[in-house]
């Protein structure tokens, strides 16, 4: 009996020593992590949050919720990249598992990294965002899209904006209009105004012939201001954002994360930030065709100058 007790004690001691050595040496299985990636592109709307701090706060709540529901001690991480190329490298290097951004930025990143879109995020109260091509109602030169021929000036928001640049530029090119650069002679010479408010101001004071405003911005204008404007073109509607996963993520894990997002709306114990997320947005779990279409559109918009937006 004494020998048996000694043997058991020795086994326990040896097991403890081996465990400590394994942990110290890195042999033990590390805790699992799930990492959500963001790009610091302040010129675009992501989940209706235009500044990085707000995007991080909103996205941190999402990844925290996903990690807590994955269980098994999964740790949530949020990682921010400075540009598209950096995010592509993080996805390829398996340092980021999930990526969230606006549709056109997601299309660029997915195309370069092989990441796979699996959740589209749409506004709850409206189908989605669209871009409006707007001019002053009293404009003597633009009544329709075909009036843009001949070197008209147009204001976009910023070079990183889906709604303020990629989507409307692709729409206009699809309608046969040429831009400068790179085309010469061109139908449209464009500038970046930096904000929708500035675009609106330049339209009203005649500094530009026309400008691009998001449908949500236009709808929020006082009737006295909207009455001074004329919409001469409207793009398709796109979602607020896309969530993609790295290409080599297991199907089982992707399905598990998808179910977690599906069930968010039914979780009465969800934190307030997730309840707000559920109130504001709906989810589309088959956005692949949309992303394929947007990839073609963004390539058309960039029109040979993709390196400028890397």
What CATH number does the domain containing 203 carry? 3.40.190.10
Q: For residue 63, is it within any domain?
A: yes
pLDDT band at 35 (very low <50, low <70, confident <90, very high): very high
Which of 44-53, 62-71, 217-226 has the lowest average pLDDT?
A: 44-53
Determine the pLDDT at residue 306: 36
Which of 100-114, 218-232, 256-270, 286-300 has the lowest average pLDDT?
A: 286-300
Q: Which of 176, 209, 234 is the C-terminal boundary of a domain?
A: 234
Which of 36-45, 54-63, 172-181, 238-247 has the lowest average pLDDT?
A: 36-45
Mean pLDDT of the chain: 80
Boundaries of domain holding 224: 131-234
Cα separation, 281 vs 274, whole angstroms: 10
Q: What is the pLDDT of residues 143-194, one digit of tens each?
A: 888 888 888 999 999 887 888 998 899 899 888 888 876 556 778 889 999 9
pLDDT band at 10 (very low <50, low <70, confident <90, very high): very low
Full 3-state SS string of the chain? CHHHHHHHHHHHHHHHHHHHHHHHHCCCCCCCEEEEEEECCCCCCECCECCHHHHHHHHHHHHHHHHHHHCCCCEEEEEEECCHHHHHHHHHCCCCCEEEECHHHHHHHHHHHCCEEEEEEEECCCCCECEEEEEECCCCCCCCHHHHCCCEEEEECCCCCHHHHHHHHHHHHHCCCCEECCCCCCCEEEEECCCHHHHHHHHHCCCCCEEEEEHHHHHCCCHHHHCCEEEEEECCCECCEEEEECCCCCHHHHHHHHHHHHHHHHCCCCCHHHHHHHHHEEEECCCHHHHHHHHHHHHHHHCCCHHHHC
Q: For residue 273, is it within any domain?
A: yes
Question: Do 136 and 229 belong together in one domain?
Answer: yes
Angle CA(255)–CA(261)–CA(262) in degrees, nearest 5?
85
Question: Do 262 and 116 belong together in one domain?
Answer: yes
Q: What is the pLDDT of residues 59-105, one digit of tens each?
A: 899 999 999 999 888 999 999 998 889 999 999 999 999 999 888 88
pLDDT band at 15 (very low <50, low <70, confident <90, very high): very low
Q: Which of 22-31, 48-57, 120-129 has the highest mean pLDDT?
A: 120-129
Q: For residue 254, is it within any domain?
A: yes
Determine the pLDDT at residue 303: 55
Q: Walk across the sheet containing 179-180 and list its strands.
A: 179-180, 188-192, 152-156, 210-214, 131-136, 229-234
Q: For residue 118, is it within any domain?
A: yes
The answer to whether the CB of 149 falls within 8 A of the CB of 139 is no
Q: For residue 2, is it within any domain?
A: no
Determine the pLDDT at residue 308: 36
Question: Do 207 and 117 belong together in one domain?
Answer: no
Between 113 and 283, the higher pLDDT residue:
113
pLDDT reading at 18 higher than 60: no
Determine the pLDDT at residue 310: 37
Question: Do 156 and 288 belong together in one domain?
Answer: no
pLDDT reading at 288 higher than 80: no
Determine the pLDDT at residue 41: 67
């Amino acid at each position: 009996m004494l020998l048996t007790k000694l043997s058991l004690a020795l086994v326990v001691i040896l097991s403890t020593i081996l465990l400590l050595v394994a942990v110290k040496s890195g042999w033990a299985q590390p805790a699992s992590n799930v990492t959500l990636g963001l790009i610091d592109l302040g010129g675009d709307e992501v989940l209706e949050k235009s500044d990085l701090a707000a995007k991080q706060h909103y996205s941190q709540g999402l990844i925290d919720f996903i990690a807590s529901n994955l269980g098994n001690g999964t740790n949530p991480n949020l990682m921010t990249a400075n540009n598209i190329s950096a995010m592509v490298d993080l996805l390829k290097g398996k340092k980021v598992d999930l990526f969230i951004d606006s549709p056109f930025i997601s299309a660029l990143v997915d195309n370069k990294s092989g990441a796979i879109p699996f959740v589209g995020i749409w506004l709850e109260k409206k189908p989605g965002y669209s871009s409006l091509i707007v001019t002053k109602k009293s404009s003597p030169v633009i009544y329709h899209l075909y009036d843009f021929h001949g070197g008209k000036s147009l204001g976009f928001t910023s070079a990183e904006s889906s709604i303020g640049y990629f989507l409307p530029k692709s729409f206009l090119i699809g309608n046969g209009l040429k831009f400068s650069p790179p085309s010469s002679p061109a139908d449209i010479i464009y500038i970046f105004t930096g904000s929708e408010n500035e675009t609106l101001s330049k339209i009203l004071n005649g500094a530009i012939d026309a400008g691009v405003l998001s449908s949500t911005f236009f709808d929020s204008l006082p009737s006295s201001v909207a009455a001074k404007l004329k919409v001469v073109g409207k793009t398709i509607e796109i979602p607020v954002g896309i969530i993609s996963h790295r290409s080599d993520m297991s199907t089982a894990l992707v399905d598990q994360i998808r179910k977690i997002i599906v069930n968010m709306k039914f979780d009465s114990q969800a934190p307030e930030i997730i309840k707000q997320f559920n109130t504001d947005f709906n989810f589309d779990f088959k956005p692949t065709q949309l992303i394929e279409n947007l990839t073609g559109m963004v390539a058309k918009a960039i029109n040979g100058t993709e390196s400028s937006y890397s």
